[in-house]
Amino acid sequence: MNMQQPNSLIIDPEVSALFLPPDARSIAMVRHNIRLGIPPSPFPVWNNILMDRIFEYREYVDAGYTIKTQPFSFKSKDVMLASICQLLTDDINEYTPYKAYLIGKHYQYHKNAYYRDEIKTPLSQLPLAELKQKYSRDIHRSIVDIVDAYGIACATIHFYSKYASAIDLIRITNPDIATRLLSGRINIPQKSVITLSQMTTDEMENYLKTINFYTLIKKAPVRTPGNNPVDIDSSNKPHLENRIIPEIKQMPKYDPDAAVSSLALTVPSWSESIRRVRERSVLSEVSQKAADNLIFQLGILEKSIQIIKNELEGITKDAN
């Protein structure tokens, strides 16, 4: 059920922290739609908290549009946040720092909700001995759903949780560094991120400059005319640390199959998500509101699938 809302949805910092900033293409698309007068689809909300599409919401509000919402039902804020984490993670196929962060946050929110008896799944209700036999000796009920969802060890999930907490600490003192770490623009080991979170802002900047400098030196040895590459000795390093080394980016070649191939890799995760819901939930006990919400979203997905399927089948027929 869509609801008309005054343009005063809550932009919660805990929700915002789960999303990377929109890229230039996404920003341009939203602003292009506004210029064309295309209204936004309903925004997902829980207790008037915006759950997604934060940039799009702000742009449409600034443009004077009346906002429509799609309410969702969750037992608590932690359950809502855990759900967002899983949805975002399911869209990421490859391993990235951002995915590790989302898995860590998913576990944190899921654990909070579990201990307040706000989450009950068939899997977490199994006898502990059976869980230990199926998974591992260090399994416990508050983590079993996360282990099952991502197929990774308990120890890895605990480490991702520490990594996520470190990112949150860094975000308090230096949001830009936190964003660059999650987006991969700063590439350092996750253990180093935990160390970084215990530093002051100045210490962080100096540490990252040092790491970046030595990484560049390691990857690109200095060449002298007519000679083989030579190492830079320690006496030269302080002088070179003050140099500004420009970042050179090479534009990738356009690949017409890239987006379609990426979507083909993503689709199996949708089927897997549906399978997990069917296995973990007693669907006959689901509330009418929750059922209506899912039916509505599946309907949108079904229409989108049919549109692109028809377009692709048209290409196949033309080729024949």
Let me know whether 144 and 206 are in one domain: yes
Whether residue 11 has pLDDT greater than 70: yes
Evaluate whether residue 251 is within a structural domain. Answer: no
Structural domain count, the chain? 2
Evaluate whether residue 248 is within a structural domain. Answer: no
Residue with tokens 């033309």: 318
* Lowest mean pLDDT, pick from 1-10, 70-79, 265-274: 1-10
* Lowest mean pLDDT, pick from 90-99, 164-173, 299-308: 299-308
- CA nearest to 157, candidates 208, 120, 106, 218: 106
Q: What is the pLDDT of residues 268-302, one digit of tens each?
A: 777 777 877 887 777 887 888 788 778 878 877 77
Looking at the DSSP bridge assignments, the partners of residue 252 are none
Q: What is the mean pLDDT of residues 136-160?
A: 84
pLDDT band for position 134 (cuts 50, 70, 90): low
Q: Is 21 helix (H, G, I), strand (E, B) or coil?
A: coil
The larger pLDDT score, comparing residue 312 to residue 217, is at 312
Whether residue 5 has pLDDT greater than 80: no
Domain boundary among 220, 251, 266: 220
Let me know whether 67 and 95 are in one domain: no
Helix locations, 151-200, DSSP H: 154-173, 175-183, 190-196
Whether residue 25 has pLDDT greater than 60: yes
Burial of 130: CB neighbours in 10 Å, binned 0-12, 13-18, 19+: exposed
* Lowest mean pLDDT, pick from 150-154, 234-238, 269-273, 316-320: 234-238
Q: What is the mean pLDDT of residues 157-169?
A: 96
Let me know whether 91 and 38 are in one domain: no
Residue with tokens 């932690």: 78
pLDDT band for position 120 (cuts 50, 70, 90): confident
Tell me the two tokens of residue 242: 């003050």
Let me know whether 129 and 93 are in one domain: yes
Let me know whether 13 and 92 are in one domain: no
Whether residue 215 has pLDDT greater than 60: no
Evaluate whether residue 254 is within a structural domain. Answer: no
The larger pLDDT score, comparing residue 27 to residue 256, is at 27
Evaluate whether residue 51 is within a structural domain. Answer: yes
Please report the pLDDT score of residue 317 as a whole number.
58
Q: What is the mean pLDDT of residues 210-218?
A: 52
Evaluate whether residue 266 is within a structural domain. Answer: no
Evaluate whether residue 229 is within a structural domain. Answer: no
Q: Report d(CA 302, CA 298) in Å as an integer.
A: 6
Domain boundary among 220, 240, 274: 220
Mean pLDDT taken over the chain: 79
Domain ranges, residue 38: 1-73
For residues 119 and 297, the answer to whether their CB atoms sit within 8 Å is no
Q: What is the pLDDT of residues 171-209, one digit of tens each?
A: 999 999 999 999 999 888 898 899 999 998 888 888 887
Q: Which helix (H) or strand (E) holds 3?
A: strand 3-5
The larger pLDDT score, comparing residue 147 to residue 223, is at 147
Among 80-89, 116-125, 202-211, name the most confident range. 80-89
Q: Report d(CA 173, CA 195) in Å as an integer.
A: 14
Whether residue 229 has pLDDT greater than 90: no
Evaluate whether residue 57 is within a structural domain. Answer: yes
Let me know whether 142 and 185 are in one domain: yes
Q: What is the mean pLDDT of residues 243-269?
A: 56
Evaluate whether residue 249 is within a structural domain. Answer: no
Q: Report d(CA 82, CA 4) in Å as an integer.
A: 26
124 contacts: CB under 8 Å, gap ≥ 6: 114, 141, 142, 144, 145
Let me know whether 211 and 87 are in one domain: yes
Let me know whether 2 and 116 are in one domain: no
